[in-house]
A and B are shown apart, each in its own frame.
Chain A
Amino acid sequence: SAVISQKPSRDICQRGTSLTIQCQVDSQVTMMFWYRQQPGQSLTLIATANQGSEATYESGFVIDKFPISRPNLTFSTLTVSNMSPEDSSIYLCSVAVSSSNQPQHFGDGTRLSIL
């Protein structure tokens, strides 16, 4: 399966600032996704990152708060904007080789703490 690298692996940020998380895959993939995992919780899908067009956001997540880019088939970024302590979570990138209900494979996540 694809090797997925996320940067940074962790960060501690000040309230009101923004952080951009990068996701790099070692091979071209059709689908890329961003998830949030709040402390002690399960994973929740934030959005599907679409190559060359705006991301598709899930209910409860908006582009102004979580802008996403996907310039090509191997790279995507997620920005967490105007952060508050409630944004302290693990943010995970995942990929699927095709769009036809294939299993997703995950990076190791970015552990974000907001002071």
Chain B
Amino acid sequence: GQQLNQSPQSMFIQEGEDVSMNCTSSSIFNTWLWYKQDPGEGPVLLIALYKAGELTSNGRLTAQFGITRKDSFLNISASIPSDVGIYFCAVHTGTASKLTFGTGTRLQVTL
């Protein structure tokens, strides 16, 4: 099946730094979603992208739908301790809103 590769796998940054992560695939998709999962909780939707080239922000988060429709990027500006967690990209596959998730990027923020 489709595979979404996220990079980096994990990252340790200092509070206040900006963060960039990406998600790539060999297949074309029509939507890209970004979720964050905190320890002990389910994933929470951060940003949804529906159009190639689209750039969308949600507070300190900005995500872009790659022009080739095979990738997406998530940036976090001025990181804070509560940004700690696992970030997943996801795409709709098949029919009826089914999702395939990426491999995840684990973010650690040090003070």
Q: Which residues of A contact B (CB under 8 A)?
A: 1, 4, 31, 33, 42-45, 48, 59, 92, 94, 96, 98-109, 111
Contacts and interface: CB of A to CB of B under 8 A. Distances in A.
Interface string B10-39: 000000000000000000001101010000
Nearest to A98: B97
Contacts, number: 55
A99 B101 contact: no
Nearest to B88: A42
B72 to A, nearest CB: 14
15 contacts: A1-B45, A4-B42, A42-B88, A43-B43, A48-B98, A59-B1, A92-B42, A94-B42, A100-B97, A102-B97, A104-B97, A105-B45, A107-B42, A109-B42, A111-B40
A105 B40 CA distance: 16
Nearest to B99: A104
Contacts of B40: 108, 111
Interface residues of B, number: 24
Contacts of A109: 41-42
Interface string B30-64: 11010100001111110010000000000000000
Contacts of B99: 33, 43, 45, 94, 104
Most chain B Cβ neighbours within 10 Å, of A48, A101, A105: A101
B16 to A, nearest CB: 28
A99 B100 CA distance: 15
